[in-house]
Chains A and B, each alone.
Chain A
């Protein structure tokens, strides 16, 4: 699986996002149907020191990244796609000492906008810890990246 072109593109995309390297986020699987990233449990992202539960912000970063990179599953070439908006609903707190997986798929692609949705889970994808929807703007190919990315952005 790891030598599929989508997997490689997802990995290349992720590898330039410095904050994701700090959190240790990695590509778990990447297929035309959707992308799964993994956020390893670590003490630096704990949001409640009494329980060891990780902070919602780390889950938001995981899901923003997963939704954003899931665009490589549907686009033939790399395009810069800043986040327009993102909504996260927390179903239950994440369990401490366990990794979090983020799944996202693009369910509608238009000329300008890509609509994504997904969820975060730990042991069982059927019992998500959070649901997410996000819209991304298509800014075109990286040749005109600098001009394009000035307007809005992730």
Chain B
């Protein structure tokens, strides 16, 4: 059984406006350095510039896989925070379009749940750096949400 109560963690995070305990639960999110910012009813995820996330050393640019992993994890957190799921959603598929180079600077992500059924959720994910209207990548993912 669960060694921690995800619902309680999510409730505490919302109440205290501190999402660090929720994030530090997942080692991979800690490795990338993902952060959560609440702006009114919206949730924006932030990936601070981190040398360990660089792929292309010449530009330098973030590794495409880091951008994808950040987007995938943001979608998972978004589902946890807003959809009242008591366990970690499981990834079914993930598709990403790279639109611009992800430079060595902070990256932001916002998610939109287009459909949540009983078993599967569809999430659209946008990542940007300088301005939200010029995304560096867009992605969509399906998650299984019905059982642990």
Interface size on A, residues (CB 8 A): 45
Contact B90 A93 (CB under 8 A): yes
* Inter-subunit contact A149/B58 (CB<8 Å): yes
Q: How far is the CA of A68 from the CA of B97 in the complex (A)?
A: 14
CA distance A65 to B52 in the complex (A): 15
Contact yes or no, B61 A46, CB < 8 A: no
- How many residues of chain B have a CB within 8 Å of chain A? 45
Task: Give the residues from 117 to 138 in chain B that come closer than 8 angstroms, CB to CB, to chain A.
Answer: none
Residues of A within 8 A of B (CB): 16-20, 22, 43-50, 54-58, 60-65, 68, 80, 82-90, 93, 145-146, 149-154
Main secondary structure of the interface of A (DSSP, over half): mixed
A45-B27, A60-B94, A85-B96 known; A19+B101 contact, CB < 8 A: no
* Contact A90 B68, beta carbon cutoff 8 Å: no
A88 to chain B: closest residue by CB = B94
Contact stretch, chosen from B12-20, B38-46, B69-77, B78-86: B69-77
